Every structure is written in structure tokens, then in C-alpha cells.
Amino acid sequence: MTTLRIGYESYWMLSAASGPYPPLPPDSVTEVDAVVVGGGITGLSTAWELARAGRSVAVLEADRIAGGVTGHTAGKLSALHGFVYAPIRDTHGPDAARLYARSQRDAVEHAARIAEQLGVDCELERRPAYTFVESPDHADEMRDEADAAREAGLDATYVTGTGLPFAVHGAVRLPDQIQFHPRKYLLALAADLRRRGGVVYERTRVVGLDQGEPCRVTTENGAVVVARDVVVATHYPVFDRALMFSRLSPRRELVIAATVPESADPGGMYLTPERNTRSVHTAPYPFRPGHRLLVVTGEKFAPGTDGIGSVNARYERLAAWLHERFPQAHLVHRWATQDNDTTDLVPYIGRFHPAAHHTYVAAGFGGWGMSTGILAGRLLAAHITDARLPAWAGLYDPVRLHPRETPALLRRQTDVAKHFVAGRLSPSYVDSPDEILPGTGAIVRIGGRRCAVHRTAEGEIRALSARCTHLGCLVRFNDAEGAWECPCHGSRFDVDGSVLQGPATRPLESRDDLSG
């Protein structure tokens, strides 16, 4: 049997290798009907739907397909999204809650049909999904959510017993949801996309968008793709044509995975908002017979807002909870994922801005990117092919602005302003690079400029500009993942300055001269 390399990396990435796709040749010009920017679940789903409809399509991915947020997700497909149906009902009305439920439920079933149609071995398993609470303080809220989900058309029930090895005070249960291997699913989708005539380019970062007729997309190596339609599916939009930077709040979430005996499988997918979120489900684990992989997610935080050592502390809290609740668990992996919340709980999927005719966007999935990415692919393809739009299209329209959204939007802008100003007024985190320990990083003022300084495990110093190349906020170091993060809009950079995650498209500038 193959031996899986154990480490602090995503299990989905380690257990589903893929041959590389080529980059777009420098200074080349490619013409297609549609170009999709981003090769995650939204981008690949959209491209596949378009190719199936007979359109020529190109996917441009800055790194590796199914390897960014999608490759680091928890791997759940469900229409039960924690506490969401009661808030949507109260904010947008009961019809909106019904449309949300219908769209998410249809996405789950659409994925199952695709997997069966393509014969994808993506370890798809049907399981009930639960949202639960342990404290009686949230019992009324839980009952209200169960009522709202049921009124929205889901087969949801309120229960007090689950398959978890500890007592819960109450839970919403939704049967027949899906847990699967997201990367295996998407790699099969990409392979079928190519069979249908689509093209996929990796290591091809898009830096420019001209919304003319036709549209033109430009990459960092000077290549150009000309297309009638453009879809921006980069998780956080790399272009701000609809003021989405003011309406999206990035958040990071930690994931740990452990082996447990098959007898310890709780038999479902579980989520509680308590303790800063705890999510639990299992997956097949062929590397240890008689065991399954228990995937635990939680400890949400805004990128770039934790102090030195605190992200590692979050991992420790998550692991302590795992071992307390599942004593037989043996930790084998850890990773992290990221998503964005909208100001009114509903994702943005559709026209990029009010004047857009051929540019589209999908963003703000609120931690539920698997089902939402699949429904986004169907919706965006319908827009582009002039097919009949589903009844729920208007719910997700990015151009909307609900009056009740205003307070959340103002809070978001206040938070960004605080990060932007505080980063310039507060003192440097350390006074000298000599204070930085191996494997860590900190902001240091050198020659009147704040620098992002990292010391490698071997003791080598690397200095970069501390100013995010997106809109200029000062980055901070994530000790657990060895990355620089922007607290304003969630851009992430490697210790060499290269972009790990947008919306930034340019690397942090080097500051080789530490003497200033």
C-alpha cells in the first residue's frame, strides 16, 4: 500500500496528485468565447458548464487548479449552512430564504449527478448534516433556525440526539447531504473540460482586464486572451469594479485531520458556532486500514490580525478540543482555508457591476464554497449562454444593495480604516532584525521605512516592503503558516514576497538593503 507523507499540508492536496497544465505562453494572443479567471470550484464548474453548452473556454489559474481555497476546504456539500435561514428570512424575507434553500439543495444534487455521469471516484458519501449547540443559551435560536429551514423547503428537523460522542442541547438535522474529496472531483471535471475542447493554463496570473467588446484579459507575462465574456472567479475579486472591496470581509479558518477507528465515526457532518466554530466530519482513509480521517475545522479569525504566536495557539486549542472529544484520534495533518463574508449573508454571483454586459463575478461564499461554487457555475453559464435564468438568480445579484446591509457595510469600512491607520501610527513590532527568531517574522522600521522581515530556519534574513501591493495596508506575519497577511482585504504573501492569495496581484517589493 502507498504510504502517505504525513505533514502540515492539506490532505486533499497530498492524496490527489495532478499532472501540471502549461502556462499561457508569454506575449501570446488567444481568442475564445469565454475566459474564466481562477481554477477553483467556481472557475472549473463555470468553464465545464460553458464547454458543455458548446462554448470555447479558457481557464487561467495563477497557481495550480483545485489547489487554492478549494484544495484546502473541509470537503462538505450541504444546503445546511449553520445559522443562515432565519437571518436571511428576517433580512430578505421568506421568499429569499426559500430561493436560497432551493439553489443550495439543487447544487448538492447537481454535483452528485455530475460525479455519476463522469464516473468520478471522488469518495462521495451521503450523510446527514447537523447544526448543533451544547449550551441551552442558544436553544431558542436553534429551534428558530430549524423552523426557518423547514419553512424554506428543506427536510430539516429539530433533534436532541446525534451521533457525536458527547451530548448536545439541540440540533437542526438535514438528511442526505454529501461529503466528498473535492480535489478528485475537480480534477475529473478539468479532464472532461479538456475533452470538450476547453483549455486550462496554470501559473498564469491575470493582472489586467479591459471590458471592451470584445473583452481583453492580460497576464503578468504579457499574454492576452480575447473573449466575448469574462468570469472573475478568484475567490476575492482581483478587480474592484463593483465596490466589492467595501462589502467583503475575509476570514481564515484552521483545519486539522486525525485518524480514528471506524467505530468512532460520528456518522454525519456537524457544525456548531460555539467556541469560535467547530465543524466535524469524516472521510475514507486508505492509508490506515480500519480507520477513517476525522476532519475538524474552527478558530475563525481575520487574516493579519493575530499577534505573534497566536495562530499556533489557535491550532493548539483546536487540537485540544479534538482530543477531548475524540480521545482515540491521532493527529496527522493540519492546514488552513479562507473565505469571505458578505454584508447581508448572501453571496455575490452575476454581473460584475451595473454597467457590465460581458463580465461576471462570484465571491463571498461565507465558508460554503462547495455548494455555492457549483451553483455559481450553473448561474454564470446561464448568463453567458443567454439561457433561462433560474428563479434564484436575482437573490445573488452583486448589484443589489439591501437597506439593512448598510450598518454592516459601515462596520466593514470602519475596520479597514482602523487597520490602515493603526499600521502607520503604531510602533514597529520589534526594534531590530536581531530580535527576530529563526522561522519567524516581524515588522521592523529600517531607514525610516517599515519592512516585513523574516528570518529563515537557517538564520538568513529576508526583508520586504511591509505595504500590501493591493491598496497599501501593512501586512503582518502568520507564524503557523509562514506567510505575510494583509488585515484589510486578506491578501497573503510568501516569505519571498510572492503572492499566495489575492486580491493582490503583484509581489511585495524586496528590501535587500537593511541599512536603509
| Beta strand 29-37 pairing with 224-232 | parallel
Residue 28 included in any domain:
yes
For residue 435, the domain's CATH number is 2.102.10.10
Give yes or no for a contact between 93 and 153, defined as CB atoms under 8 angstroms apart: no
Residue 1 included in any domain:
no
20 and 69 share a domain?
Answer: yes
Tell which wins on pLDDT, 462 or 415: 462
One DSSP character per residue, 264-301 reads G--SSEEEESGGG-EEEEEEE-TTSTTEEEEEEEEEEE
199 and 232 share a domain?
Answer: yes
451 and 497 share a domain?
Answer: yes
484 and 358 share a domain?
Answer: no
Neighbour order of strands in the sheet with 499-501: 476-478, 483-485, 492-493, 499-501
**pLDDT at residue 430, rounded to an integer:** 67
438 and 492 share a domain?
Answer: yes
pLDDT at 308 over 70: no
Instruction: Considering only CA atoms, give the Rg of the chain.
Output: 22
Residue among 44, 70, 62, 23 nearest 207 (CA):
62
Q: How many helices (H) and strands (E) does the chain have?
A: 9, 24
Residue 115 included in any domain:
no
Average pLDDT of the residues of the chain: 89
Residue 369 included in any domain:
yes
What is the number of other CB atoms lying within 10 angstroms of the CB of residue 210?
A: 14
- Phi-psi label, residue 254: left if phi above 0, alpha if psi -120 to 50, beta otherwise: beta
For residue 57, the domain's CATH number is 3.50.50.60
349 and 241 share a domain?
Answer: yes
Where residue 411 falls among pLDDT bands split at 50, 70, 90?
Answer: low
Give yes or no for a contact between 261 and 290, defined as CB atoms under 8 angstroms apart: yes
**Any idea which of 32-36, 41-45, 106-110, 464-468 has the lowest mean pLDDT?**
464-468
Residue among 334, 344, 350 nearest 294 (CA):
334
62 and 200 share a domain?
Answer: yes
Where residue 385 falls among pLDDT bands split at 50, 70, 90?
Answer: very high
Domain count, the chain: 2
359 and 484 share a domain?
Answer: no
How far is 409 from 415, CA to CA, in rounded Å? 10
CA-based torsion, 14, 18, 23, 24: positive or negative: negative
Residue 397 included in any domain:
yes
How far is 180 from 371, CA to CA, in rounded Å? 12
pLDDT at 58 over 90: yes
The enclosing H or E element of 388 equals none
464 and 431 share a domain?
Answer: yes
Give yes or no for a contact between 202 and 22, defined as CB atoms under 8 angstroms apart: yes
Residue 230 included in any domain:
yes
pLDDT at 64 over 60: yes
Residue 368 included in any domain:
yes
pLDDT at 5 over 60: no
381 and 491 share a domain?
Answer: no
Domain of residue 31: give its range. Answer: 16-73+183-246+345-405
Q: Output the pTM of the full model.
A: 0.88
**pLDDT at residue 256, rounded to an integer:** 95
pLDDT at 402 over 70: no
389 and 449 share a domain?
Answer: no
Percent of the chain residues topping a pLDDT of 90:
65
Per-residue pLDDT of 248-269, as tens digits, reads 889 899 999 999 999 999 999 9
Give yes or no for a contact between 429 and 444, defined as CB atoms under 8 angstroms apart: yes
Residues, the chain: 516
**pLDDT at residue 236, rounded to an integer:** 87
242 and 190 share a domain?
Answer: yes
Residue 171 included in any domain:
no
**pLDDT at residue 6, rounded to an integer:** 44
Q: Buried b vs exposed e over 472-494: b needs ≥16 C-beta within 10 Å?
A: ebbbbbbbbbebbbbbbbbbbbb
